[in-house]
Amino acid sequence: MKKDIILKAENISKQYRLGQVGTGTLSHDLNRWWHEIRGKENPYLKIGDTNDRSTKATSEYVWALQDINFEVERGEVLGIIGKNGAGKSTLLKILSKVTAPTTGSIKSRGRIASLLEVGTGFHGEMTGRENIFLNGAILGMTKKEIASKIDEIIDFSGCERYIDTPVKRYSSGMTVRLAFAVAAFLEPEILVIDEVLAVGDAEFQKKAIGKMQDISRGEGRTVLFVSHNMAAVETLCTRVISMNNGSILGDGSPTKIISEYLQSSSFSQRKISFENSEEAIGNENVKILYAAIENTSALDPDEIIDVTSTINFRLKMVNQTREEKISIGYDLRTIKGDVVFGSGGKFNCCIGMTTEVSCEIPANFLNDDVYQIHIYFHTNGMSQLYSNLELLTFEVKDVKRESGYLGKVNGMIRPSLPWTLKQ
């Protein structure tokens, strides 16, 4: 039976120049032009580091993607997983034709609707209703076609009360609700979604996943889904691709590829450290200079963490806002995306200065598993400053049980609770 291929990526690579906007210096541009008129290859395609953010660059060029090849069939739900910096978002931007590849080509059949970042494709000064018509027009739909869908879009988004309010006054959750509803109900042949569902609440995530299942199974449309929530990927997707440092590591069934990804030796990242704010991760509001998961039960804080170890989460950040009172918190999640618990507090963070905070997780509390720290920062008025998924990843082992015959204790946590014998 002949495959119905709706999207095909052939030899896709994407190169960026570090620390520069544009292609570089005039001499580089002239060199490219001179090679081009002589029918020769761009000389700067032969150089460049792989996209490993944990190592210092030796070249001013970096390959965000290298030699990506895959096909997607009509009606398929393709999950794309990988660590931050693996190249997932860059790949989706190329597939959505937001940016062009350095080499290679994309072949697609049908309209592509993308949800790449919160607010992408929305005009802040326009109302929610006006943005629905704008997005529909970009997808090539007539005003009449959009009008026939607008009631469903508004109802699904849950933003009816604010639909005639400028989008710039929406919260990030409201924006992503409306953006998803627009993308899903305006009937594109290919729907591309990049982690934005993590912004929505639990109710909306459940609705969105249900809608994506309807789109693929009931309506035969294609979905490309990037997420760090492995449970959602495994439930929703019919096929999964895993990526690392700009290359494809695995391609196959969701259970198999997710299992291989979780077991990969390069997965754990218990510590990140930067010398200054310019190099640090973050945005214009907050910069994270240092974050680590430390084993305080051992002489060496980097030692393997056992279930009996006391764990310390330590964080150094720079407050770049004009407010001193900042809420800092995190969700501790299993590697499949289930939230074990959340914790946070309000701190006086001097403007422009480094603030260090820490949080202790007691011994004999977490079960043996792989966990992630998902950090967030808010102002005192709860305006979101920065939210970083997958900041740290660490593993808790049960050394005693590993060396014996007993299996894993059930549950996400395994607190040491008191028992009393009465006779």
Question: Which CATH number characterizes residue 371's domain?
Answer: 2.70.50.60
Could you tell me which of 348, 333, 305, 351 has the C-alpha nearest to residue 413?
333
The pLDDT value given to residue 332? 94
Does 317 map to a domain? Answer: yes
The pLDDT value given to residue 390? 77
Q: At 185, is the pLDDT very low, low, confident or very high (cuts 50, 70, 90)?
A: confident
CA-to-CA distance for 148 and 159, rounded, in angstroms?
Answer: 18
Q: Report the domain count for the chain.
A: 2
Does 173 map to a domain? Answer: no
On whether both 316 and 384 belong to a single domain, the answer is: yes
Give the tens place of pLDDT for each residue, 227-239.
877 878 888 889 9
Could you tell me which of 246, 211, 252, 218 has the C-alpha nearest to residue 234?
252
On whether both 100 and 232 belong to a single domain, the answer is: yes
Considering only residues 6 and 266, tell me which one the structure prediction assigns the higher pLDDT: 6
CA 361 to chain centre: 25
On whether both 225 and 345 belong to a single domain, the answer is: no
Does 241 map to a domain? Answer: yes
- HSE (CB half, 13 Å, CA atoms) of 131? 30
The pLDDT value given to residue 360? 96
On whether both 356 and 220 belong to a single domain, the answer is: no
Amino acid at the residue 24 = G
On whether both 26 and 50 belong to a single domain, the answer is: yes
On whether both 340 and 276 belong to a single domain, the answer is: yes
Q: Which residues pair with 348 in a beta bridge?
A: 325
On whether both 33 and 88 belong to a single domain, the answer is: yes
Please say whether the dihedral angle defined by the alpha carbons of residues 414, 308, 408 and 370, taken in this order, is positive or negative. positive
Percentage, residues of the chain above pLDDT 90: 26
Indicate the residue among 220, 243, 263 that finishes a domain. 263
The pLDDT value given to residue 53? 47
Instruction: Say if CB 61 and CB 45 are below 8 A apart.
Output: no
On whether both 213 and 328 belong to a single domain, the answer is: no
The whole-model pTM stands at 0.62
Name the token pair of 111. Answer: 């309209």
Indicate the residue among 215, 238, 263 that finishes a domain. 263
Does 373 map to a domain? Answer: yes
Does 169 map to a domain? Answer: no
On whether both 93 and 211 belong to a single domain, the answer is: yes
Does 136 map to a domain? Answer: no
Q: Where are the strands (E) in 34-162, listed by range?
A: 49-50, 61-73, 77-82, 103-108, 112-115
CA-to-CA distance for 189 and 187, rounded, in angstroms?
Answer: 6
The pLDDT value given to residue 337? 78
Could you tell me which of 311, 292, 317, 294 has the C-alpha nearest to residue 376?
317
On whether both 25 and 106 belong to a single domain, the answer is: yes
Give the tens place of pLDDT for each residue, 8-64.
999 999 887 665 555 555 666 676 666 667 666 666 555 444 545 444 445 567 788
Least confident segment among 40-44, 165-169, 221-225, 233-237: 40-44
Could you tell me which of 71, 118, 68 has the C-alpha nearest to residue 94?
68
Does 129 map to a domain? Answer: no
The mean per-residue pLDDT over the stretch 145-165 comes to 88
Could you tell me which of 188, 107, 175 has the C-alpha nearest to residue 146?
188
On whether both 97 and 213 belong to a single domain, the answer is: yes
Indicate the residue among 204, 239, 263 that finishes a domain. 263
Does 177 map to a domain? Answer: no
The pLDDT value given to residue 385? 86
User: Residue 213: which domain range?
Assistant: 5-110+189-263
On whether both 103 and 229 belong to a single domain, the answer is: yes
Please say whether the dihedral angle defined by the alpha carbons of residues 347, 358, 264 and 87, taken in this order, is positive or negative. positive
Question: Which CATH number characterizes residue 17's domain?
Answer: 3.40.50.300
